[in-house]
Structure 1
């Protein structure tokens, strides 16, 4: 972390690879795809914010003071047992969580119109590679597993990976685990999916991890133990200034935003394709870039709660 008196402490930078960027201290990017769903702010208990689908079959919980910051689940009925659960720890970038929440919002919208059961309750694919296909397509490779019956995928830089457990499982057993960063409480991002999680939802999440596009962070939000593993570029150096000519060449950030916009338009015309999963992840990252980054992660063990809406926007 940067010293409290560092004048560059709050400088915004583009961080890559994204999976090593850590949390920016709020869940804005993760909640953006479901901003139109009912929000329930809880004053007591470990879960501080619960966002649900209108029928409450999908639940997205924010546990602001816990190691497992996010807990996302789905069930066949609002009061029935959970079919599957995904958890993300406090170091996981919210942009990765947004890969899943974007896919869930898409699935729920499709179920509303065409299928009452919902694709978010689909049976997992019998092929283990379907869940991590975006990683394999991006050049991540298989490595020697630590345990029999498991498959391990490793990023080219060796700083992120996925573990797929192919052994027999109960419904609550963990079948896919994602990680990024060196071992340690404040340095390693972790995500875990239970056995009945639909493969396309895991793929939507891994598609974000496979992306090379950077995300915005303030310098103090990058753990000092990670700094040598990431590339940072001051946002000011790639954003237009007041005296910039209209005919200026596009910056890398401009190019990225244009690509995201075009991808979203393509996805609207071709849902439920493999490319669509990547587009949904891209859309969530685009929302994260445009969000106000008002919350910061203090150098404590507590992750702040996303801001409560104003009095005119009570939970539905």
Structure 2
């Protein structure tokens, strides 16, 4: 029997979802925006509630689009020329677990701090730090299996068969990679690639470090907290839901035990106010007769 996660005070949910790739979105974008806003990136929004975040040099742009034209809730693009076509783009749909988006934006913020050009480092097969297949390693380490689901597609599949990371070989349409699921990389979970619960895509030149940050988060064996009422019956049929136990009081210290024992000890009786008779005391005189 696997050990239960330690209860904590700051858990936002009443069940743990395992494996974590079967969890859905948390419904809030703030955690995934925080790494970029922490660098002082510009935040704007429109009248519909869509949010746009720009790097100071405008070479990285993020859109959080709850009122977008499709289910692509998160769209992140990088530009060599701020006025040209994106060099690479990544998309997370509206049901993707927020923790996976947060892993991407955290790695993006770290890369930008090293220098804007780090965010534009192209994958190079066989390179020590830029080999695209390094992104697959965290999943293989957790038992994901190599698969060939379709012609021209290399994939690794989760042990439960409900998630996969796919890499498409050959030439792809750069514009389609940025606006459809026909991208170089596709990560999905659900019943099948045609009916995913959630998906994420990344175009050909997406830096390996950003992809690896996501796969490391997906491969983490720790479950994710969610509210049961926000978990669809479809997910409940595939995932393991473990109730989150209420927080327990801390174990008593030896001093606590001593104080508790002292509080239960009966109080000492007061000393008698009348002295006892001794052998040298005079006998009592008889009282008067009636």
Under a length normalisation based on structure 1, what TM-score does the superposition of the two structures give? Answer: 0.66
For 1:55-111, what per-residue CA distance to the aligned partner results, in whole angstroms no more than 9, with x for missing partners? 221111111034111111111243332111101111110111112101100001111
Counterpart Cα distance in 2 of 1:133 and 1:210: 10
For 1:160-179, what per-residue CA distance to the aligned partner results, in whole angstroms no more than 9, with x for missing partners? 10110111234343101000
Q: Where has structure 1 moved over 4 Å in runs of 4 or more?
A: 183-187
Who wins on radius of gyration, i.e. which is larger?
2
Counterpart Cα distance in 2 of 1:84 and 1:183: 26
For 1:117-156, what per-residue CA distance to the aligned partner results, in whole angstroms no more than 9, with x for missing partners? 421100112254223222122221112322x221011011
SS at match of 2:232: coil
8 Å Cα contact 2:162/2:192 also seen in 1: no
SS at match of 1:82: coil
Residue 224 (1) aligns with residue 236 (2):
no
Name the residue aligned to 1:56. 58
Counterpart Cα distance in 1 of 2:149 and 2:252: 53
Name the residue aligned to 1:155. 158
Name the residue aligned to 1:110. 114
Counterpart Cα distance in 2 of 1:77 and 1:135: 34
User: Quick check: which one's helix share is greater?
Assistant: 1
8 Å Cα contact 1:14/1:233 also seen in 2: yes
Q: 1:186 to 1:92 in 2, by over 3 A?
A: farther
8 Å Cα contact 2:123/2:132 also seen in 1: no
Name the residue aligned to 1:284. none
Name the residue aligned to 1:40. 44
Instruction: Answer 1 or 2: higher relative contact order, Cα 8 Å, separation at least 6.
Output: 1
Name the residue aligned to 2:136. 132
Name the residue aligned to 2:172. 169
Name the residue aligned to 2:121. 122
Name the residue aligned to 2:216. 207
Q: 1:120 to 1:35 in 2, by over 3 A?
A: same
Counterpart Cα distance in 2 of 1:175 and 1:222: 30
8 Å Cα contact 1:83/1:171 also seen in 2: no
Counterpart Cα distance in 2 of 1:206 and 1:108: 20
1:1-316 correspondence runs (5 A): 12-36=14-38, 37-44=41-48, 48-65=50-67, 66-111=70-115, 117-126=116-125, 127-146=131-150, 148-172=151-175, 173=177, 174-183=183-192, 188-235=197-244, 237=245, 240-241=247-248, 243-245=249-251
Q: 1:246 to 1:185 in 2, by over 3 A?
A: farther
Of 26-35 and 160-169, the range deviating more from structure 2: 26-35
Counterpart Cα distance in 2 of 1:121 and 1:215: 31
Deviation at 1:213, TM superposition (A): 1.3
Aligned length: 227
Counterpart Cα distance in 1 of 2:133 and 2:223: 26
8 Å Cα contact 1:128/1:164 also seen in 2: no
The unaligned stretches of length 5 or more in structure 2 are 1-11, 126-130, 178-182, 254-290
For 1:211-262, what per-residue CA distance to the aligned partner results, in whole angstroms no more than 9, with x for missing partners? 1112221111111111022222233x1x534x44366xxxxxxxxxxxxxxx
The unaligned stretches of length 5 or more in structure 1 are 1-9, 112-116, 248-316
Counterpart Cα distance in 1 of 2:171 and 2:184: 9
8 Å Cα contact 1:50/1:60 also seen in 2: yes
Counterpart Cα distance in 2 of 1:193 and 1:13: 31
SS at match of 2:92: strand
Give the root-mean-square deviation of aligned CA atoms.
2.3
Counterpart Cα distance in 2 of 1:198 and 1:89: 20
